[in-house]
Amino acid sequence: MGAPQGIEDPISALFDLADRAAAMAPVVRRLYRYTAAILVVWIAIMAILILVGLASAGWLSILALIGLAAGVIALGLLRQTDRFFREFVQRHQWIRQVQEAEPASKIPDGRTPVERLARYLAVSNPRIERRVTANPGSVRFRVSVHASRRDLPFDLILGEPSGTIARWTGGDDAGFAIVARLGSASPTLAELRQLEGDAVLSASSLEGRLVRIILLRPEPGPLAEEVYDYAVGHPVEVPWGFGRRRATLEIVTENANGTYDFVPHVLAVP
């Protein structure tokens, strides 16, 4: 039985609504920056008035203190709203990526598994592709990152530098960094944890914010249940600015039929 006249398919209507909301992302980001700048100026003015009021009229300091508190609260609420909208847009991108993704991801040509993975990352993500096209040197093989007084080896590092202010404050101009290490056909939980620990220690020394950690298996093999569960259900927290951000931990396997297998399948990152 078809839907009554005048009633849309609810699933399609939801996706259309999400598309329209996501299309407003650039406008919302500009509004956030302008509003945040105004609030910062307001807070600075109130701080100056507090100092002036202490030297002359006490009532002015009280009013300025109230204004300062209101500005700080408003800025905090604005940051939470911006964080919610950014997560909504990112989730929408993931859904679209899942809808448009091929049923099986094909392995590109390359001399080694790591080289093939680097080419796949470039062709599967527009942002990475733009970065690699503009600067082929952003793809580095067999790199050691010096952190915690030792050298931490990775088979692949791919990244885009972050802005200086973003690195110190944890802002959005974060660039990105992806690290990968060649693993065994049947990796152990200790091997996966070692990669995670080395990546977290290296995060502060990378050019951009660490967003993706990959253990690459050159051939399929038995994957222990505890390893699978750890990769799927274990979020990785990496230092960024004054806080921490999440990075994805992923096991990528080259299959004999020329396709990749992902645990979990990470899309739209970065």
Q: What pLDDT is stored for residue 7 in this prediction?
A: 45
Q: Assign 26 a pLDDT band (cuts: 50, 70, 90).
A: confident
Segment 65-93 shows an average pLDDT of: 83
Q: Is pLDDT of 3 > 60? A: no
* Residue 202 to residue 150: CA distance in whole angstroms: 10
Q: Given a cut of 80, is residue 2 above it in pLDDT? A: no
Omega cis (within 30) before 239: no
pLDDT value for 6: 46
Residues 18, 12: Cα–Cα separation, whole Å: 10
Is 48:54 a contact under the CB 8 Å cutoff?
Answer: no
Distance, in Å, from the CA atom of 101 to the CA atom of 99, rounded to the nearest integer, reads 6
Beta-sheet pairing, 243-254 with 236-240:
antiparallel
CATH of domain 113-263: 3.40.1350
The pLDDT assigned to 240 comes to 73
- pLDDT, tens only, 157-207: 999 987 666 555 555 566 899 999 999 989 999 999 999 999 999 998 888
Q: How many CB atoms lie within 10 A of CB 45?
A: 14
Query: Which has more pLDDT, 14 or 196?
Result: 196
CB 97 within 8 A of CB 269: no
Q: Which of 112, 107, 113, 124 is CA-nearest to residue 258?
A: 107
* pLDDT of res. 96: 67
pLDDT at residue 38, as a whole number: 92
Asked if the model's pLDDT at residue 154 lies above 90, the reply is yes
Tell me what the mean pLDDT of segment 124-145 comes to.
91
pLDDT reported for residue 208: 87
Average pLDDT over all residues of the chain: 83
Residues 6+ apart with CB under 8 A from 50: 61, 64, 65, 68
For residue 219, give every residue at least 6 positions away whose Cβ sits within 8 Å of its Cβ, in sequence order, or none.
Answer: 185, 253, 254, 256
- What's the pLDDT at 59? 78
pTM to 2 decimal places = 0.67
Where is average pLDDT lowest: 32-46, 53-67, 134-148, 253-267?
53-67
Residue carrying the six token digits 């951009």:
208
Q: What pLDDT is attached to residue 167?
A: 56
118-121: long-range pairs with CB below 8 Å, 24+: 118/156, 118/158, 120/260, 121/158, 121/178
Tokens of 259: 């396709």
Three-state SS for 188?
A: coil
Distance CA 209, CA 223 (A): 29
Q: Where are the alpha helices (DSSP H) in 56-184?
A: 58-100, 113-124, 126-134, 164-169
What's CA 115's distance to the chain center, in Å? 23
| CA distance linking residue 225 with residue 234, whole number of Å | 13
pLDDT at site 32: 84
